[in-house]
Amino acid sequence: MDQHKLLHIRTYSQTFTNNPNEKFLLMILCSQAKLENDNKSVNVKRGIRTKCEMGWRPGVAPLGYINRAFGGVKDIVPDPDRAKIVTEMFHKAGHEGWSGRRLKNWLDEQEFTGRSGKPVSVSQILVILSTPFYYGKFQYPEAPDGTWYTGAHKPLISKELYDLVQATRGVYKGVWGSKVFSFRGLLTCGRCGADITAQEKVKIIKKTGDYKRFVYYNCTRRKDPNCPEKYINEENLCVLLQAFIEQNYKDIRITDKLQAKIEKHYHTTQTLLGHYKIDQKLDEPLIEYARYILSRGTENDRTAFAAGIETKLQIRESQLLFQR
């Protein structure tokens, strides 16, 4: 209004014009509305916290439970159609070592579906197997600093069985997205066109008792559940990527940020060779930088390197190709 771009403000019961008194009244009403809105937010958070302390998880109950409202009281009870199957699924995963895909095939035979009426996916099964709600605990909000509560609902499994499932699957995986895999997002499957994802396995070296981390890349199989593309570990993938860059460096597009790192590394290498009077012919800058990063770089170095490659690649039968 002060800039004369707005003639007046009209609400359901009032009209405010470019008048000092009316603008002052409008400011007071807006401040009051803001205060009421902030108080509602505080009250809602207090109500959610109180509900959690009473042992009731906010939101939709996990598969195997249902939300029930009776006589003005809301609680969570086992789903009579799904609870027993979910419990049996934990037993098969923990005591018999069944994989997620084998469990899916079994659930499909049982005609087990989600609330939408569709069969559950492998990713949904893995989420169920890693949800502590089923043994009586839950975290809210689900974040690294979220508070843990003891649920008032009836557990479907014991804490011991839950721990056995996690140990069998080789997890406590942490928060979703907290792990970084260097080459995820760079590759797609050359057979079905789905994305290439990654997973880690931590194994104990029997001779030394040390833990060693292995990273494997594989097709997500979202487009073809029966895609035959095999897993490849990160070390072999680095070898394949190095060879691919040496053969196709002219056709690979990279970001300006990565180009600057490559030029800096190339200049530093030339300076060191000249300083120590080492007669060595260098390859192309991209080849030299890739050779250094993929063989001796840290995980963060490899992640930044992969993020700087704009050209998308495919992997098919353990061979790298340009994405079609």
pTM: 0.51
- pLDDT for 172 equals 46
Superfamily of the domain at 65-169? Putative Large Serine Recombinase; Chain B, Domain 2 (3.90.1750.20)
Q: Where are the domains of the chain?
A: 8-53, 65-169, 187-322
pLDDT per residue over 156-191, tens digit each? 999 999 999 988 775 444 444 557 799 999 999 999
What is the sign, positive or negative, of the torsion defined by CA atoms of 270, 274, 275, 279?
A: positive
Give the mean model confidence (pLDDT) for residues 62-69: 94
pLDDT per residue over 119-169, tens digit each? 999 999 999 999 999 999 999 988 777 899 999 999 999 999 999 998 877
Paired residues of 196 in beta bridges: 219
Contacts for 181 with CB less than 8 Å, ≥ 6 apart: 197, 198, 200, 215, 217, 303
